[in-house]
Amino acid sequence: MNDTINGTEYVTFTTGGQLFGLPIERVQDVFKPANITRVPLAAREIAGVLNLRGRIVTAIRLNDRLDLESRAEEAATMAIGIECGAESFGLLVDAVGEVLRLPDGEREANPINLDRKLARVSAGVFRLDGQLLVVLDVDRVLDLGAEAVAA
Amino acid sequence: MDELLGDFLTETTESLDLVDSELVRFEQDPNNGQILGNIFRLVHTIKGTCGFLGLSRLEALTHAAESLMGKFRDGMPVTADAVTLILSTLDRIKAILGGLQTLQREPDGNDADLIEQLSRMARAEKVAPQLQPAPQQLSHDKPAPERAEAEPVKQAAGETSDKPAGEATEKLASHSIRVSVDTLDHLMTTVSELVLTRNQLLEIVRQHEDSDFKVPLQRLSNVTAELQEGVMKTRMQPIGNAWQKLPRVVRDLSADLGKDIELEMHGADTELDRQVLELVKDPLTHLVRNCADHGIESPAHRLAAGKRRAGTIRLSACHQGGHIIIEIADDGRGLDTARIKAKAIELGLAGEAELAAKTDGEICNFIFAPGFSTASQVTSVSGRGVGMDVVRSNIEQIGGTVDLKSAPGAGTTFTIKIPLTLAIVSALIVEAGGERFAIPQLSVLELVRAGGNGEHRIERIKDTPVLRLRNTLLPLLHLKEVLQLGAPDDDNGFVVVTQVGNQIFGAVVDGVFHTEEIVIKPMSSKLRHIPVFSGTTILGDGSVIMILDPNGVAQALGRAAQAAQAEAGEVKENEEVVKDDKVSLLVFRAGSQQPKAVPLSLVTRLEEIDCRRIEISDGRHLVQYRDQLMPLIRVDAEAGLKKEGSQPILVFSDHGRSMGLVVDEIVDIVEDRLDIEVASNRPGVLGYAVVKGATTEIIDVGHFLPQAFEDWFRRRDASARVARTVLLVDDSAFFRELLAPLIKAAGYHVVAVASAADALTALKSGTRFDLVVTDVEMPEMDGFALAEAMRSMPDAATTPIIALAAMVSAETIERGRAVGFHDFVAKFDRAGLIAAIKEQSADLHQAA
């Protein structure tokens, strides 16, 4: 009972072979992106812009954003819709999994040797059965500018 | 309570703006009871509401003002002092209102000073009315605007029957409601979405021929269009709203500056989107201030120049297509191009050579550069050159353009062109590198099909693509290249002729689709740093495309242009472009069918002038060109001037003077090696070269310049610090003809002789020569022998010698050095020769 009260629901997904989770209240919807318009001169991780029910969504390839191994282009990609301020973003990931409720107490700090780029956007790690789930900090994932300056 | 306060603030601010403009008119026409009535009513209303809301500071102040106004209404004469006092009272009221808005309560402070003055004036009048000057004289005592009429105001004020106007406004009031701007903005966004959805539906139905949806959809479409128009209308406001403060601004300025300025306003009821209106307010105010401060002269200057004592600033607005044109004109002194040039050089914005090639209009545009202010005295009014660049960028931000025309002594006119609304614009959809983009129609001048078998062909000067368009050279850029979408293709494409400010360029795209009304969506914050895009939009088929920002695209051109100009500047310095590699030649026909050519770098401009403008004076043909008389010179006698239509000319400019070379037709611009294979004895022709497979006469511009102005070269000499004298020795008349003007043009005196013997005679004659330029191969006595002979002459032993050789081999150089040649130059290397002369005479200068 205590667990459910203190727990947080996460939308899980895998991309570049890694399992990630996003707090469900930050996820607007999950959709299959179509007709992405490329934007010339944009940052590498920006796949382009697309129209989602009249809203313009900026699609960001999470694999490129986190320097993860990219799957082949034709692989069925999914997008996780996120609102940030007045804008909409779509994180392109390899596959979306189930929604998990995980107790806050079990979330562990990042291992100190975690890849720096990943560590910057990670809000902690859950030890699940058989695999590790990295919780993403949405705002830091979307903060492309700071990354560029830091890099 | 909060809501009440908010309403009060909005209403009061509006009323105060009205009072401002009314008061200025009141001062000019103090006997107009109706204006007085209006002002009184407004102040009274503010006072009443203040009491209701418990705003004691405001109430006391307005009460005192109202008392004085009441006296005026009862017939007390209005003095300029009184108007000033009331204006400062209104300023105080505004300050309190400002505080009220931020603090939600009245700010602390004391208004006893103003209240005291107000009530003293109200009382004093009663006691000693005879002390006040008659109101009629007032406007002359003070350099205040005598008349500043706004059209809407005029209809209210000018009419004798006062009542109906007042009633009409009251009636109107009961038919209107106050809607918050947020509500309207939200409505606008929703309608924009509706328009998009409708477009998508139409697209779907178009693909299904027999659809039951067709008719209802058509209805939906019409209703949507009507709704869109209706919502747009609710957001429309007369531009007069943005002008309301201006009469007051001008009044205060004229008092501060001691000038007489009248403000005329036309077309104040022209409507535009309130968002645009808000954004254009500040630039407009700034421009008007600028006219008052820099444009209009002081009354003394005006009278001296034979103008009316009072200067006029004329504001007008009108609709033109989907745009609104606003003009701010003054009848002042106009812009001082000489000062602007000096300032531009000082700020390092352009070199002197560059400026000489610019038109007055282009020079005037420098005032929009950051940090530009030619006012020698900095006044509080226009500040320190932190204005015009902001004005321009503010206007360009809303997709508008600002342009200016100036006539010395007659005034300056600023023309602002802005879209009616920001939310929806007409755009041209183009394709580049497989992607579609939208270009705002506002900046598109025309479309030209390039390549294929068409009339227009993309050409390159070195690596720079250009297009010949009606005898102007249009700089091009490949959108594909700018967007890094692949290698450019010169052979196929469309050129979108685009204007940004005064700059016109062509953007080459792969395809052009259609124009579409697009709803501009703000750009993602992750893409905002890309200067070539200004926004995104959703097309009828549901896809998202990027909107190109012509300003940003032009920047890409600017980078190339700057580099190119820097290069051109250097080339000009050397007067010639004979490099080892290729030279751009302008090929034209004049007189005969044989093509003629001049190096493109010497040509300042290609012009077409109306034949009717050509005047004949003293047997010479002249044309008025940029406020100067420009002589027209014919390449040879056979080349006649056209009788009608337009006459193409090549303009050569140097040190502020221009000459027009009359040609029949401009044929081509080619890039080729310039090898003069056969020399010519004909004056004006350097020789013949094969250009693009055709034998072409290479024209010697140096021959024609003195024909235009006999003193063309002499003026140059006069400006040189110490003119040095060069002895030119060459047995060939052709080379003497060719080189003498060239050396003269570089600022030297030239004495040309035909043999080494003549040279020695000249050297012995007592004339001091600073430098000898000699041909190596000459009959009887060659260059080497001349040098040896000179070594034994006391006067000429140290004079530097530059040798001209048709063939320069290591052996001749070795031998030349032994006899004392200071430098060797190849015969056709004119640039090299000038450089060598400069170098040698500089050495001389240092030695002396």
Which tens digit of pLDDT belongs to each residue from B233-264?
Answer: 787 888 888 888 888 888 888 888 888 888 88
In chain A, % helix, strand, coil (3-state, to 5) comes to 20, 45, 30
Higher pLDDT, B38 or B775: B775
* CA-based max dimension of chain B: 115
Determine contact: B486 vs chain A, CB below 8 A.
no
Contact B593, B847 (CB under 8 A): no
Residue B672 burial class via C-beta count within 10 angstroms: exposed 0-12, middle 13-18, buried 19 and up: middle
Q: For residue B138, give Cα distances in angstroms to A8, B86, B132, B292.
A: 79, 16, 10, 22
Q: Which residues of B touch A89 (CB under 8 A)?
A: 524, 526
Higher pLDDT, A78 or B836: A78
Helix axes B112-127, B56-73, angle to 10 degrees: 20
Higher pLDDT, B142 or B786: B786
Tell me, what's the pLDDT at B343? Answer: 81
Tell me, what's the pLDDT at B27? Answer: 72
For residues B681-697, average pLDDT: 74
Cβ-proximal residues to B92 (8 Å cutoff; 6+ apart), any chain: B61, B111, B114
Average pLDDT of chain B to the nearest whole number: 75
B113 pLDDT higher than 50: yes
A26 pLDDT higher than 50: yes
Tell me, what's the pLDDT at B471? Answer: 75
Q: Which residues partner with A133 through β-bridges?
A: A19, A126
- Give the up-direction half-sphere exposure of residue B745: CA atoms within 13 A in the CB hemisphere: 26
- Out of B438-447, B543-552, B613-622, least confident range: B613-622
For residues B615-629, average pLDDT: 75
Determine contact: B471 vs chain A, CB below 8 A.
no
Q: Which residue of B has its CA nearest to A90?
A: B524
Q: Which domains does chain B have, with CATH numbers?
A: 2-142 (1.20.120.160), 181-234 (1.10.287), 240-419 (3.30.565.10), 429-560 (2.40.50.180), 574-708 (2.40.50.180), 713-847 (3.40.50.2300)
Tell me, what's the pLDDT at A91? Answer: 93
Give the containing element (helix H, strand E) for A10: strand A7-15
Q: Which two tokens stand for residue B36?
A: 């007085």
The amino acid at residue B98 is G
Q: Which residues of B touch A145 (CB under 8 A)?
A: 526, 529
Tell me, what's the pLDDT at A71? Answer: 61
Tell me, what's the pLDDT at B80? Answer: 74
Q: Which two tokens stand for residue B82?
A: 């009184």
Query: How many angstroms separate the CA atoms of B68 and B76, rounded?
Result: 9
Contact B23, B68 (CB under 8 A): no
Query: Residue B179 CB: number of other CB atoms within 10 A?
Result: 10
| Contact flag B525-A85 (C-beta cutoff 8 Å) | yes
Q: Residue A59 — very low, low, confident or very high, per pLDDT cuts 50/70/90?
A: very high
Q: For residue B149, give Cα distances in angstroms to B32, B264, B314, B323, B613.
A: 14, 6, 10, 25, 41
Q: Distance, in angstroms, between B550 CA and closest chain A CA?
A: 15
Identity of the residue in A56, A60, A85 whose CB atom sits nearest the CB atom of B544: A56
Of chain B, the percentage scoring pLDDT greater than 90 comes to: 4
Q: Which two tokens stand for residue A31?
A: 């959709």
Contact B495, B448 (CB under 8 A): yes
Tell me, what's the pLDDT at B439? Answer: 92
B175 pLDDT higher than 50: yes
- Give the up-direction half-sphere exposure of residue B428: CA atoms within 13 A in the CB hemisphere: 23
For residues A10-24, average pLDDT: 92
The residue behind tokens 């939308």 is A11
For the segment B322-376, what is each residue's pLDDT rounded down to a tens digit? 678 899 999 888 888 888 888 888 877 777 777 777 777 778 888 887 767 555 4
A125 pLDDT higher than 90: yes
B186 pLDDT higher than 70: yes
Tell me, what's the pLDDT at B241? Answer: 82
CA B562 to chain centre: 17
Tell me, what's the pLDDT at B152? Answer: 39
Contact B98, B45 (CB under 8 A): no
B786 pLDDT higher than 80: yes
Tell me, what's the pLDDT at B163? Answer: 41
Identity of the residue in A37, A42, A85 whose CB atom sits nearest the CB atom of B544: A37
Tell me, what's the pLDDT at B139? Answer: 37
**Whole-prediction pTM value?**
0.44
Q: Residue B824 — very low, low, confident or very high, per pLDDT cuts 50/70/90?
A: confident
Q: Which residues partner with B431 through β-bridges?
A: B436, B511
For domain A2-143, the CATH superfamily is CheA-289, Domain 4 (2.40.50.180)
For residues B630-653, average pLDDT: 74
- Give the up-direction half-sphere exposure of residue B546: CA atoms within 13 A in the CB hemisphere: 26
| Contact flag B197-A43 (C-beta cutoff 8 Å) | no
The length of chain B is 848
Q: Residue B5 — very low, low, confident or very high, per pLDDT cuts 50/70/90?
A: confident
Q: List chain A domain ranges.
A: 2-143
Higher pLDDT, B441 or B567: B441
Q: Residue B679 — very low, low, confident or very high, per pLDDT cuts 50/70/90?
A: low
| Contact flag A37-B538 (C-beta cutoff 8 Å) | no
For the segment B487-541, what is each residue's pLDDT rounded down to a tens digit? 887 777 889 998 876 678 999 999 888 887 777 777 788 888 888 888 888 887 7
Q: Distance, in angstroms, between B190 CA and closest chain A CA?
A: 11
- Least Cα distance to B710 among B631, B653, B639 occurs for B631
Q: Residue B695 — very low, low, confident or very high, per pLDDT cuts 50/70/90?
A: confident
| Contact flag A46-B526 (C-beta cutoff 8 Å) | yes
B153 pLDDT higher than 50: no
Query: How many angstroms separate the CA atoms of A75 and A69, rounded?
Result: 13
Tell me, what's the pLDDT at B497? Answer: 92
Give the number of A-B residue pairs with CB atoms closer than 8 Å.
64
Q: Which residues of A touch B433 (CB under 8 A)?
A: 40
Q: Which two tokens stand for residue B6?
A: 């908010």
For residues B269-295, average pLDDT: 83
B592 pLDDT higher than 80: no
B231 pLDDT higher than 70: yes
Interface of B with A in 203-242 (CB under 8 A): none
Tell me, what's the pLDDT at B341? Answer: 83
Of chain B, the percentage scoring pLDDT greater than 70 comes to: 79
DSSP 8-state code for residue A108? B
Query: How many angstroms separate the CA atoms of B509 and B477, rounded?
Result: 9
For the segment A28-55, what is each residue's pLDDT rounded down to a tens digit? 999 998 889 999 989 888 999 998 877 8
Sequence-separated contacts (24+) of B285-288 with Cβ below 8 Å = B285/B245, B285/B246, B285/B249, B286/B387, B286/B388, B286/B390, B286/B391, B287/B328, B287/B391, B287/B414, B288/B246, B288/B249, B288/B250, B288/B263, B288/B313, B288/B315, B288/B328
B720 pLDDT higher than 80: no
Q: Which of A49-53, A136-140, B102-106 has the highest mean pLDDT?
A: A136-140
Q: Which two tokens stand for residue B785?
A: 């022998």
For the segment B390-427, what is each residue's pLDDT rounded down to a tens digit? 788 778 777 778 888 888 888 889 998 887 666 667 78
- Cα first-last separation, chain B: 90
Tell me, what's the pLDDT at A96? Answer: 92
- Least Cα distance to B786 among B831, B737, B825, B821 occurs for B821
Query: How many angstroms separate the CA atoms of A137 and B320, rounded?
Result: 52
For residues B24-41, average pLDDT: 73
For residues B658-669, average pLDDT: 79
For the segment B76-85, what is each residue's pLDDT rounded down to a tens digit? 777 777 777 8
Query: Residue B176 CB: number of other CB atoms within 10 A?
Result: 7
A82 pLDDT higher than 90: yes
Query: How many angstroms separate the CA atoms of B228 and B199, rounded?
Result: 13
Dihedral of CA atoms B90, B95, B100, B101 in degrees, nearest 10, equals: 100
B149 pLDDT higher than 50: no
Query: How many angstroms separate the CA atoms of B112 and B471, rounded?
Result: 72
Tell me, what's the pLDDT at B37? Answer: 75
